[in-house]
Structure 1
């Protein structure tokens, strides 16, 4: 016999902000009380006069199903016998002003498909996981010194059949097979928590614990994640703890008063997004959010969270007009409660999941985002490098004739790249709202556009930091992401697009096999400039190194459409260097200028004692690997 009636200990932890598995207490849970099977409903509504449960089982009339408040705690609970999986329900909130309205369950595990908004009773204990090998490997893996190359996906528009999005089950076959074949290491999903409006892309949530019913059931999504893990692919979710939408059935004024949001409208409102900020000063809200982060890892085996819009959380005046600016109690503009919440979130997640991926999407200059909290940091282990992304796109969008005057845009990032554990992102945000597709950002005629994009992606792969690209980028789409249509798969019927996809696949597989490109991403020892200052030719060269001194890759990038012959590049170690990757390969649509094996001679260049002579193709990246065995004989 099970009794899920919340205990005083549970409620004390909840009110302290320390009930980190609140989803096991709140919401709707199938159980047996006495001799009867049924569902226990538990909700937090401290300012309600009365709370009832309504649903398809009582014709949406809650008169006979009034919840009981537990010892004046503001927590209401009720066991209703003879209810089962699939029962539709809502909470009927009666306010002290005698207003009555219906709310979806904030802790619901499943919900009706939009535009319907009822919560659905759902047991999440049925699926039998088969990812033990993945979980064991993950426990032994140092995420910082392993390859991470993320394919960012919006599930609704990756691929469609008869204009219908694929289900989780269908995606588990088609998407995973594609991601594996393309050589990515992780999938990152735009938010799949329940949300009412398709075109919010999931960033305006109503059901934080409810997997969206657009694509199927919780069990089908579990199968999707399981299949990812069985195929060696990690799964990251976009997670939105910064704000929520104002839809009537959601969290806004849940018990008739501002509850999950700040009471002070100046702090609560996110003007441009039309959303409300969570009130991080309330311990119960902290319990709700931290429990939600753990929920996705506990129940769905998610490997990590990309925390959306961190700057909007930590900056009180984010995106607010000057007339609405406010200050905290200490006279600053940072949100002290949000910062405290973020630190507690990361401490808790890493306590339970030491190898989780906690990624901050943060466009601010806040220091130590990826430093441990005991060192004064926010406690994430990764941060998106928005500065690098913006600089690189500004540079690449300019005509090569003007690039010598903007050379610092491609080198500046190395002045700060070791200040955080960065991910280099080209995300969905860069290919919407008139920003143009990645291919159409590139200058020049048809061939040059493709060459420029190959150059950009290969420089991204060679630069220190983990990698992320948005779906469709690997097809070299001409148009922006169309958020109601599938990506442009028909482009693969055209040679240049098909060759570009093969380029991305080859680049991804090359990245995975070369530890020099990822093993020391976050150590100064992993990078060495050969020539950072040749703005005249718009050519840069550098060394990437693994932990083993023998693992050396020389990277040369030519950002002009001019080919260079017998071009001297300095190297710090003599030996034979073999060209192992060339973005100008004819297989990728390039001109086919190659180098093969070259020997480093005793000729100083770029402040090095040795140098090699190369043919450098136009608008291309070439990578050469030192051959250790031959090098030893020469030494």
Structure 2
């Protein structure tokens, strides 16, 4: 077959698609770029603007370098039609680069790749999925996301659970085990660490080569679609970590694709990511914007994902975020203007199409208005991980309890800024690796006090304003750090203390969902009232969480040291009776208390600025939660 026979004429839609791609506004570019099937063969389309020549090589032509692709005028795009390829064939593009060097590259838009260590792209088309999650998707559009429970279980797909011989669970096997587990535990969402193709397990998926392909180590597109559908049918959302800031620099991937800085910045100081050994996307280049925004929509639309957690946002915002030399912008500052513009455009486009999507920023600095709308000068995300709260809280709990009173601001400071953004409170994978210890191992004291500390820190997180995220393994108090090459230490559950902690986590998750005060007014001052944040000496913190109705409130009493506090006076908003509904020292939650404190009646005295008060007992190292049982002087209407 001659090259002429394999060419096809541009349709009007193709020409428009190429134009929009180069303008940076083709947000469905994966529908025309890459390998696409038609009635009598496959169309191959690749962007390589500075390549001298591009050839299609693969199983179907015995990897012979004879099938030269046609360059489409001044678009920088090469194309070829071939009737020989069939589903499952491997292929690459042979790129004769600007300086004459020959490189064999993957298809940036390929939907599937060979299982490592092989790395070729694989011929296939999009699945023709007939979705059966209509009720979930309709409710997602109907329900207000900010005043709903959001409690995320973060999962690394290949190390949540493994077979006895160390082999990974397939996505299909995970569907049968993980979804029922998450439902039983009471989480609202699963968040997967990156699922796209990546060559190095040790990168955990954050150094991708194939942005449009489900990693061959995990499974197929169809399996992932079925997983999400099954999760939705069980009222569980699915989120994925997505990395638009940088990419793997392996020679066969996107790196210097046509021999010049194509996907990466032309300035080496901006292109090289020294911290992670990767290359940074040129976020100011139109074609890169088309590629990345299309990619976000690809995962959201083709897999019905409920949101994306955008990794390393700070790396896109700052020119000097990396280690090593950096180049200031035209104003002499460290702001990456192209990165800011890209993020705003990305969020604007995504929310125009899918206003019910979760777009979460992993952003570790004090950049303002991360979760404010673009038209208000914000970045346009709707959630941000609260890294400051996470770091301060973990640092506090890792201290000797006798020293905590001298660092009490680590606990109280978050209340000064917690309503500046829509925050998620994460205890994530990054905090249980590289010698940082597991959550359980971070806790101070003997084994009993370590679990008491875990119950306290997790209860405090659940009562604190903000949505929630917990990394796998913490729910049962795994002692070892997370190891990406191994499954979780499920045999820990043979120990009664670990089994009790798993039951505690399940009950805590249910407690969270059952009490509207913990999620209905999460991001406004009106939802939280501080009673006492100044008792450094006793290291106790008292506050109220409120729902929309005046009677929907909880009084939260935190004791952060292993010293029992008796006859504690607590100011309350209404006269009447209060009851204990949560106490981390109840025996049913893993503690030693066999019965609650009973009904707590108010006395008329001014405490914490309130006219009425109750007297309570705070167990050592605990969180106690009270709710009104019978109160007077409160309106019955909605607040």
TM-score by length of 1: 0.97
What is residue 18 of structure 2 aligned with on the other side?
11
Q: Structure 2 CA distance, aligned partners of 1:630 and 1:171?
A: 51
CA drift at 1:249: 1.0
The Cα offsets for residues 227-267 of structure 1, whole Å up to 9 and x where unpaired, read as 11111111111000111111111100111111000111111
Q: Structure 1 CA distance, aligned partners of 2:34 and 2:482?
A: 37
Deviates more, 1:416-425 or 1:573-582: 573-582
Residue 22 (str. 1) matches residue 25 (str. 2): no
Indicate conservation of the 8 Å contact 1:30/1:84, yes or no.
no
What is residue 117 of structure 1 aligned with on the other side?
119
What is the DSSP-based 3-state SS (H/G/I as helix, E as strand, rest coil) of the residue aligned with 2:545? strand
What is residue 491 of structure 1 aligned with on the other side?
492
Indicate conservation of the 8 Å contact 1:539/1:556, yes or no.
yes
What is residue 4 of structure 2 aligned with on the other side?
none
What is residue 397 of structure 1 aligned with on the other side?
398
What is residue 617 of structure 2 aligned with on the other side?
615
The Cα offsets for residues 147-177 of structure 1, whole Å up to 9 and x where unpaired, read as 1000000011000012111111011110001
Indicate conservation of the 8 Å contact 1:576/1:631, yes or no.
no
* Residues 1:575 and 1:122: Cα distance change in structure 2 (over 3 Å): farther
What is residue 258 of structure 1 aligned with on the other side?
261
What is the DSSP-based 3-state SS (H/G/I as helix, E as strand, rest coil) of the residue aligned with 1:542? strand
Deviates more, 1:72-81 or 1:200-209: 72-81
Residue 218 (str. 1) matches residue 225 (str. 2): no
Query: What is the aligned length?
Result: 627
Indicate conservation of the 8 Å contact 1:578/1:596, yes or no.
yes
Q: Structure 1 CA distance, aligned partners of 2:161 and 2:540?
A: 39
CA drift at 1:5: 8.3
Aligned counterparts, 1:62-461, within 5 A: 62-63=65-66, 65-161=67-163, 162-321=165-324, 324-461=325-462
Residue 547 (str. 1) matches residue 554 (str. 2): no
Q: Structure 2 CA distance, aligned partners of 1:92 and 1:397?
A: 54
What is the DSSP-based 3-state SS (H/G/I as helix, E as strand, rest coil) of the residue aligned with 2:603? coil
What is the DSSP-based 3-state SS (H/G/I as helix, E as strand, rest coil) of the residue aligned with 1:227? helix
What is residue 602 of structure 2 aligned with on the other side?
600
Q: Structure 2 CA distance, aligned partners of 1:136 and 1:74?
A: 41
Indicate conservation of the 8 Å contact 2:60/2:84, yes or no.
no
Indicate conservation of the 8 Å contact 1:2/1:31, yes or no.
no
Indicate conservation of the 8 Å contact 1:193/1:209, yes or no.
yes
Q: Structure 1 CA distance, aligned partners of 2:371 and 2:294?
A: 22
The Cα offsets for residues 48-67 of structure 1, whole Å up to 9 and x where unpaired, read as 1111111111111130x211
CA drift at 1:566: 2.3
What is the DSSP-based 3-state SS (H/G/I as helix, E as strand, rest coil) of the residue aligned with 1:380? coil
Deviates more, 1:87-96 or 1:546-555: 87-96
Q: Structure 2 CA distance, aligned partners of 1:97 and 1:199?
A: 34
* Residues 1:451 and 1:444: Cα distance change in structure 2 (over 3 Å): same
What is residue 5 of structure 2 aligned with on the other side?
none
What is the DSSP-based 3-state SS (H/G/I as helix, E as strand, rest coil) of the residue aligned with 1:567? strand
CA drift at 1:627: 2.6
What is the DSSP-based 3-state SS (H/G/I as helix, E as strand, rest coil) of the residue aligned with 1:532? strand
What is the DSSP-based 3-state SS (H/G/I as helix, E as strand, rest coil) of the residue aligned with 2:534? coil
* Residues 1:206 and 1:6: Cα distance change in structure 2 (over 3 Å): farther
TM-score by length of 2: 0.96
Q: Structure 2 CA distance, aligned partners of 1:66 and 1:79?
A: 11
Q: Structure 1 CA distance, aligned partners of 2:274 and 2:74?
A: 36
CA drift at 1:576: 1.8
CA drift at 1:3: 8.2
Deviates more, 1:497-506 or 1:579-588: 579-588
Q: Structure 1 CA distance, aligned partners of 2:631 and 2:218?
A: 53
Q: Structure 1 CA distance, aligned partners of 2:282 and 2:30?
A: 19
Deviates more, 1:409-418 or 1:565-574: 565-574
Runs of at least 5 residues in structure 2 that lack an aligned partner in the other structure: 1-7
Indicate conservation of the 8 Å contact 2:408/2:539, yes or no.
yes
Indicate conservation of the 8 Å contact 2:87/2:124, yes or no.
yes
What is the DSSP-based 3-state SS (H/G/I as helix, E as strand, rest coil) of the residue aligned with 2:397? helix
CA drift at 1:9: 1.4
Indicate conservation of the 8 Å contact 1:124/1:219, yes or no.
no
* Residues 1:287 and 1:133: Cα distance change in structure 2 (over 3 Å): same
What is the DSSP-based 3-state SS (H/G/I as helix, E as strand, rest coil) of the residue aligned with 1:295? helix
Indicate conservation of the 8 Å contact 2:127/2:221, yes or no.
no
The Cα offsets for residues 558-597 of structure 1, whole Å up to 9 and x where unpaired, read as 1111122222111122222121111111122212163232
Q: Structure 2 CA distance, aligned partners of 1:386 and 1:87?
A: 45
What is the DSSP-based 3-state SS (H/G/I as helix, E as strand, rest coil) of the residue aligned with 2:207? coil
CA drift at 1:626: 1.2
Indicate conservation of the 8 Å contact 1:4/1:40, yes or no.
no
Indicate conservation of the 8 Å contact 1:576/1:630, yes or no.
no
Indicate conservation of the 8 Å contact 1:149/1:186, yes or no.
yes
* Residues 1:398 and 1:588: Cα distance change in structure 2 (over 3 Å): same
CA drift at 1:553: 0.5
Runs of at least 5 residues in structure 1 that lack an aligned partner in the other structure: none
CA drift at 1:371: 0.4
CA drift at 1:96: 3.4
Indicate conservation of the 8 Å contact 2:605/2:611, yes or no.
yes
CA drift at 1:477: 1.2
Q: Structure 2 CA distance, aligned partners of 1:259 and 1:2?
A: 26
* Residues 1:3 and 1:602: Cα distance change in structure 2 (over 3 Å): farther
What is the DSSP-based 3-state SS (H/G/I as helix, E as strand, rest coil) of the residue aligned with 1:544? strand
What is the DSSP-based 3-state SS (H/G/I as helix, E as strand, rest coil) of the residue aligned with 2:541? strand
Indicate conservation of the 8 Å contact 2:574/2:632, yes or no.
no
What is the DSSP-based 3-state SS (H/G/I as helix, E as strand, rest coil) of the residue aligned with 1:477? coil
Deviates more, 1:484-493 or 1:75-84: 75-84
Aligned counterparts, 1:429-578, within 5 A: 429-578=430-579
Indicate conservation of the 8 Å contact 2:149/2:513, yes or no.
yes
